[in-house]
Amino acid sequence: MLLAVDVGNTDITFGVFREDDLITRFRFTVKVPRTSDEYGELLCNILVQKGFSSEDISEVIIASVVPQMMYSFTSAIIKYLHCHPIVVGAGTKTGIRIETANPKEIGPDRIVDAVSAYEQYGGPVIVVDFGTATTYDLVTAEGAFQGGVISPGIRISANALWNNTANLPEIEIKCPNVVVAKDTITSMQAGLFYGTLGQSEYIIRKIKKEANIPDAKVIATGGLGKVVSDHTDEIQIYDPDLTLKGLLYIYKKQKK
């Protein structure tokens, strides 16, 4: 079986594939520095809880935006799963062309999402990932990654709000029933949610206009993508497993 790993700034997300089927997924935080043994034991224990063992994993593919943890993490994969992982980066076969000024600057997560969206839904397609940062990326009908937009994610904005003000509390991020609120918590929720929603709609429309692709499909993913996509017609599909499925597509291209 294939273990696909998305190493983000907040979480590490794992997906186990049997052939083309995603049969389980799990995650843990990257906030705590860990040794290779800690990563390995944690990973093996979770696999056992999911009904698998380390011997069930025959291949591993990783996309990471946290280079400082990769030595320990890849060492854990080698020692505990006995696999030398494929790490998505420069030179990895993806099936799409990167038409930016410096392709090496593009985060592997953005490339993986673009591959997944293009393989599943065709192009032109706009991919919106509501992660630690919110990214908007454009892939043309011919499969060319042309670039995109990076903005602070909703949780980054929320943390800045309550960490840099004396009287504003930490709150749950959700869609309130009103925009004009009569209490502080709802006012903050309105600002965070509707600010993100308005930004998303404007940027999507601006990309479509600038690229002259009014009928481009828009695919969302990421933790809060479902909440936002439920409140706008600009996003057609929310795919929570977009990145994991993109890793599967890229893995297959390496094997070919």
Catalytic annotation, pick one of 11, 20, 109, 239: 109
Q: Residue 250 in 3-state DSSP?
A: helix
Please state, in angstroms and as integers, the Cα–Cα distance from residue 110 to each residue in 82, 114, 117, 223, following that order.
Answer: 28, 6, 11, 15
The CA dihedral of 185, 190, 195, 197, to the nearest 10 degrees, is 130
| H/E element, 149 | strand 144-152
Of residues 178, 198, 199, 196, the one with CA closest to residue 187: 178
Compute the half-sphere exposure of residue 159: CA atoms within 13 Å on the CB side of its CA. 7
Mention every residue, 6+ apart, whose C-beta is less than 8 A from residue 201.
232, 234
| Cross-strand pairs, 98 | 145
Active site residue 129: no
CA 46 to centroid of chain Cα atoms: 21
Would you mind telling me the total number of residues written for the chain in this entry? 256
Would you state the torsion angle of the CA atoms of residues 56, 110, 217, 176, taken in this order, to the nearest 10 degrees? 90
Asked if 238 and 221 touch (Cβ cutoff 8 Å), the reply is: yes
Catalytically annotated residues: 109
